[in-house]
Amino acid sequence: MSADQMSIGEMLAATVPMARTLNLEFLETTPERAVVVLPDQGEYHNHVGGPHAGAMFTLGESASGAIVIAAFGAELARAVPLAVRADIAYKKLAMGTVKATATLGRPVADVVAELDAGQRPEFPVAIAITREDGAVTGEMTVVWTLRPNDPK
């Protein structure tokens, strides 16, 4: 893991209490992909012994946030990233450790060009949540925006 990747994970853990609470592990964070792991922890299980749906949602949203920071970190002085909406589908029973892999749905340059033009761009991040055997247990999309800072 590079220093940049580590700093994004550390930053998210420091600024997003739920990421820290769930002991999320940021394995990879680039502008193209983020991989985050939710360790198997009994205190976050559901009634069937797997990770709770809320913990899986937080895992996916955290992976999407990591890729947003990696892709648009250079824009943080002039805009704040905000989640606009999210959709999640639980596909298979999740048991044990689960991993979220996030991918950016639009080219970074296109989003930045909209921001440069004075717009408030929106862009999707797709997340696949998988078990250790590789089975997809959930699919999620988080739509983000870069809200320009108030020039005052």
- What are 81-121's pLDDT values in tens digits? 999 999 999 999 999 999 999 999 999 999 999 999 999 99
Tokens of 89: 């589908």
36, 66 in Cβ contact below 8 A? yes
pLDDT category, 15, cuts 50, 70, 90? confident
pLDDT value for 10: 82
What secondary structure letter does DSSP report for 32? S
- Rounded distance between C-alpha atoms, residue 49 and residue 71, angstroms: 35
Per cent of the chain over pLDDT 90 is 85
Q: Distance (Å, rounded) from C-alpha 54 to C-alpha 90? A: 11
Mean pLDDT, to the nearest integer, of 10-31?
89
Say whether pLDDT at 64 is over 60.
Answer: yes
Q: How many CB atoms lie within 10 A of CB 113?
A: 12
Specify whether the backbone of 133 is left (phi greater than 0), alpha (psi in -120 to 50) or beta: alpha
Q: Which fold has domain 3-148?
A: Thiol Ester Dehydrase; Chain A (3.10.129)
3-state helix, strand, coil in the chain (%, to 5): 35, 35, 30
Is pLDDT at 52 greater than 80 in this prediction?
yes
Residue 96 DSSP label:
S
- pLDDT-derived band at 151, boundaries 50, 70, 90: low
pLDDT at 70 over 50: yes
Q: Return the closest-CA partner of residue 97 out of 46, 21, 39, 35.
A: 39
Looking at residue 9, what is its pLDDT?
81
Residue 5 has pLDDT above 50, yes or no: no
